Structure 1
Amino acid sequence: MLISNLINQEIMKANKWIVPLLMLTMVIFSSCQDYLDFEPENTIPAEGFFETQEHAEQAVNSIYAHFRSWEMVSFAFIIMQEIPSDNAVKGSAVGDASFINDFDNFAFTPNQFVLKDYWAGRYRGINKANQAITNIPDISMNESLKTRLIGEAKFLRALLYFDLVRAYGDVPTPLSVPVGPEINFRTPKAKVYEYIEQDLLDAIAVLPDTYDAANKGRATAGSAKGLLSKVYLYMERWGDAERMATEIVSSGKYSLESNFYNVFRVAAENGPESVFEIQAQQIEGNWGVSFSQHAEVQSVRGQWGWGFNIPTDDLAAAFDAAGDQIRKAATILYKGDTTPDGDIIAGVPSLEGIDGTPRYNGKAYYPPAQQLFGPYGSGQNIRVLRFSEILLIQAEARIRQGNASGAVEPLKLVRNRVNLPEISSPTLDDVLLERRLELAMEGDRFFDLVRTGKAASVLASKGFVAGKHEVFAVPQELIDLSEGNLTQNPGY
């Protein structure tokens, strides 16, 4: 979060640079149809906006605010980025949102609405980013701020396209407004990655390393470098991934939180381990600005939340086999556990897909004593990129280049925090297992299995078909709206 104030001896989150965003989003951008959601957008915002420095700031702030919307961080996020993996199952009550099981067993069709939610949510954000990138250059304002705001918009657009290209492969890539016919045609995946890379290089060149307290949480040069290092892994440009990760490690601006459990608590938000987070807040009396259901949909059913996205026995066994009880305890909350914050996990007697003790995603846990307003956990920032992942990217990239000895130190740092021994001669599988345990339930496992070529074997029992399920189906409704210009992925 950007600013933490003690009000009535409780934590009140006051993200002042995004408080006005709900109104901005509703009033300014609602006049423009969202990319590939309904009919193509061919207009710019209503006359009278994008005229002042304040408008420029509001426009970019609205992109940040969009990231905590339902389509970005709630059902579509957990259903498409965790449920298809070996880390999670639907959970909740038997029959509740049973369509989620279609993603767990790879039985979804192009008409499944979640596919459209995921797609539309990201293109809504791209729409906002393109509005800013296209219109801010013509505003008479502080030139330094103008440059920075455009850089922030490019970073956020790159993050949105990164989600899309991992999920669907080839995707349309509108880069400005008004748009032309390109929004109805899929850009080859390799070209999408080129656009992402360029946006991030542009952002790196202009974004600051840090911000003052009032702006903490905005994208930095380190955020852009961190995302680019991850993008390079997907592009299999190992040397570039190592170089970019090493720049972050060598900068001295980031470090690991000493206590793994605390990484996901409010006190550590935007701390030294944070490379980028989606900012959340609680503003009493303003439900819209306080709205985020990322934690609520996953948290303890019958107590604080809905109980979806439940850690599997397979994940628990992976923690046990590694002797990793610290990360297991922070990642998986079992019925009957008492958290370090003193809350007893009660919940319901059973969850769909779980034969043993009910359990929940511990990283979505939000101590209820800190809940002031809005849905449960609406004050909890959503971790997108952490320094521990940068260390693991550095380690993986070095091993991919035959430098296993160079992977020892970054891997050691990650493991030392959770009291695991050093691996003196690490292999690629060692690093990939470390990614699974460190980043479990954070939305990377399915994409990691796909990019490393392990999905077909690891997920075979769930119904994964090689040559088909590496990407999701393009929403059929959008193919129909494009009059067939959008094409479907193979096998659907």
Structure 2
Amino acid sequence: MNLKYSTLALLFFLFISCENDLNVAQQDAQTEKDFLNNPENAVQLINGIYNKQLDYNMYSFSWIGITSITSDDADKGSSLSDTGADKHKMDNLTFDAGDISFQDVWNGRYEGIYRANNAIYYLDLLAIDASLKNRLIGEAKFLRALFYFDLVRCFGGVPIIVDKIDINNNDLINQVVYTRKTKVETYAQIETDLLDAIEKLPLKGQYGAQDFGRASKGAAQALLAKAYLYQQKWQEAYNLSGDVIGSSQYSLLPNYAHVWREVGENGMESIYEVQAALTNGLRDYTNVQGPRGTPDLGWGFNTPSTNLESAYEPGDVRKNATILYRNAGSLWDGFPTSSAWNNPRYNYKVYQSQLAESWNGDKGNTAKNLRILKYSDILLIRAEAAFQLGFTSEALVRVNEIRNRAGLTNLTSITLQAIYKERRLEMAMEHDRWFDLVRTGQAPTAMAAAGKTFIVGTHELFPIPTTEIIRSGNRLSQNFGY
């Protein structure tokens, strides 16, 4: 097979679509000099990276499958006969390298990386205000680091592409696109991008209203703190999470249930979220998980498990803010629940209100933002890093901040398991649980308790998509056990 029909070839055609998305005027309508001196073109280059996050192969069905349905937080849901292509295999941990979910996640992230690389390349050529250029490069590097963070958590070391690639240079493609770097090297690139982004980006509060929701210094610090946590760089995770906490830019929302509703979007607890609008919405994220049956609100996948349900303490407000019960009578907006829905429980955090939130009748293209980084996550990172460093008093304080908002009494002492438990319940159904189980070594025991078999030495990573290995001429190596 011709090597041009590879990940890189896909990304080449993507750049064409990216230019269309950005509505950049054709070159016969303006000179190259005009293009390079127009700051609006620079902003549109970056907007193209943000827009990629709305696509189906980013945070929709496949991402939901491999980050949530795999875990003990969720079951496949829907109906017994509807497998969702491969979601039954995600639920049973019987997935393999040919499953579409892994291909989607791989493609989506590299498409985003390609947009980021091209944006950085062209930004260097643009003759625009230096401070604006720096900020935009910082945004591109934050987004590129976020995409690589998803990839390294899923697949381990991956090909690292940080430059604009000539798709006619087969030697370079083989060396860069079809050569996996190590996990350590991949994290090193994430760190490099984020450290630069921290220097270039403004604080959240320094953005004007027209730029609200863009990546900020706090977002870069938060993501770097999380990357440090995954590498067990406890002191660095402790320091960076402390910087976010000390910035005075963020705090917990008083009402936990508001965090995932429209009223909480870009609020005091939000560090970074995918921005969606009625005219440019998040593709099928809510639709995949909406209650299935009559009335039909979605496909009914990714339903909270009884394992998660039983993990909450009595009085924990997070339970009823996370689990939507079909026998509840009515939802928070007055919408009636239905005994005709297929499953007894659904993910309440993704519920899109037709009565009290922005709604145009299109379930597959909603204006509901997706939270990627939250302040509560940073408090828990600080707590875990503090505990690992022996700062148990601070770990206890941070955990109790979380518990107080949840309506629970203070703990009087702290253990690592208590921190893990609070993390699970605080972040339930938010795509972190599987990765947390793997990175902390809890996965074999937790999966066994959920009736699933976690294969040690294999399931710590997902398989590299078979199609990518074939396209690479077997230059890309497969993860062990697949």
TM-score by length of 1: 0.87
Q: Does 1:475 align with 2:465?
A: yes
Partners of 1:292 and 1:394 in 2: CA distance: 33
2:46 is aligned, of 60, 85, 88, to 60
Contact 1:154 1:199 in 2 (8 A): yes
Q: Does 1:73 align with 2:59?
A: yes
Contact 2:60 2:288 in 1 (8 A): yes
Percent sequence identity is 40
Equivalent position of 1:275 in the other structure: 271
51-60 vs 253-262, which moves further: 51-60
- Give CA-to-partner distance per residue, 1:5-50, whole Å, 9 cap, x none: xxxxxxxxxxxxxxxxxxxxxxxxxxxx897265685998688486
Contact 1:35 1:123 in 2 (8 A): no
What does 1:192-203 align with in structure 2 at a 5 Å threshold?
192-203=186-197
What does 1:156-167 align with in structure 2 at a 5 Å threshold?
156-167=143-154
Q: Which amino acid aligns with 1:155?
A: F
What does 1:86-101 align with in structure 2 at a 5 Å threshold?
86-98=72-84, 99-101=86-88
Distance 1:252 1:39, change over 3 A: closer
Q: Does 1:259 align with 2:259?
A: no
Q: Does 1:395 align with 2:383?
A: yes
Equivalent position of 2:320 in the other structure: 329
Distance 1:252 1:468, change over 3 A: same
- Give CA-to-partner distance per residue, 1:419-442, whole Å, 9 cap, x none: 111112111111110010000000
SS of equivalent to 1:469: coil
Q: Does 1:486 align with 2:476?
A: yes
Partners of 1:304 and 1:42 in 2: CA distance: 35
SS of equivalent to 1:459: helix
Equivalent position of 2:331 in the other structure: 339
Q: Does 1:188 align with 2:182?
A: yes
What does 1:353-368 align with in structure 2 at a 5 Å threshold?
358-368=344-354
Q: Does 1:296 align with 2:283?
A: no
Contact 1:34 1:120 in 2 (8 A): no
Partners of 2:101 and 2:390 in 1: CA distance: 41
SS of equivalent to 2:283: coil
Partners of 1:312 and 1:226 in 2: CA distance: 29
Partners of 1:465 and 1:223 in 2: CA distance: 34
Contact 1:301 1:347 in 2 (8 A): no
Equivalences, count: 447
What does 1:88-487 align with in structure 2 at a 5 Å threshold?
88-98=74-84, 99-178=86-165, 180-181=172-173, 182-210=176-204, 211-283=207-279, 289-302=280-293, 303-319=296-312, 322-337=313-328, 338-346=330-338, 348-351=340-343, 358-369=344-355, 370=357, 371-375=359-363, 378-460=366-448, 461-487=451-477
Contact 1:335 1:347 in 2 (8 A): yes
Pairwise CA distance, 1:478? 0.7
Q: Which amino acid aligns with 2:200?
A: V
In structure 1, stretches of 5+ residues that fail to align are 1-32, 284-288, 352-357
Q: Which amino acid aligns with 2:128?
A: M
Q: Which amino acid aligns with 1:205?
A: E
Pairwise CA distance, 1:196? 0.2
Contact 2:58 2:109 in 1 (8 A): yes
121-130 vs 95-104, which moves further: 95-104
In structure 2, stretches of 5+ residues that fail to align are 20-25, 167-171
SS of equivalent to 2:246: helix
Contact 1:365 1:377 in 2 (8 A): no
SS of equivalent to 2:103: helix
SS of equivalent to 2:419: helix
Contact 2:274 2:370 in 1 (8 A): yes
Partners of 1:84 and 1:188 in 2: CA distance: 25
Contact 1:35 1:41 in 2 (8 A): no
Contact 2:234 2:389 in 1 (8 A): yes
Partners of 2:430 and 2:341 in 1: CA distance: 26
SS of equivalent to 2:285: coil
Aligned CA-pair RMSD? 1.9
Q: Which amino acid aligns with 1:342?
A: G
Partners of 1:334 and 1:56 in 2: CA distance: 46
SS of equivalent to 1:271: coil
Contact 1:122 1:164 in 2 (8 A): yes
Contact 2:213 2:272 in 1 (8 A): yes
Contact 1:207 1:220 in 2 (8 A): yes
Q: Which amino acid aligns with 1:331?
A: T
Pairwise CA distance, 1:376? 5.4
80-89 vs 172-181, which moves further: 172-181
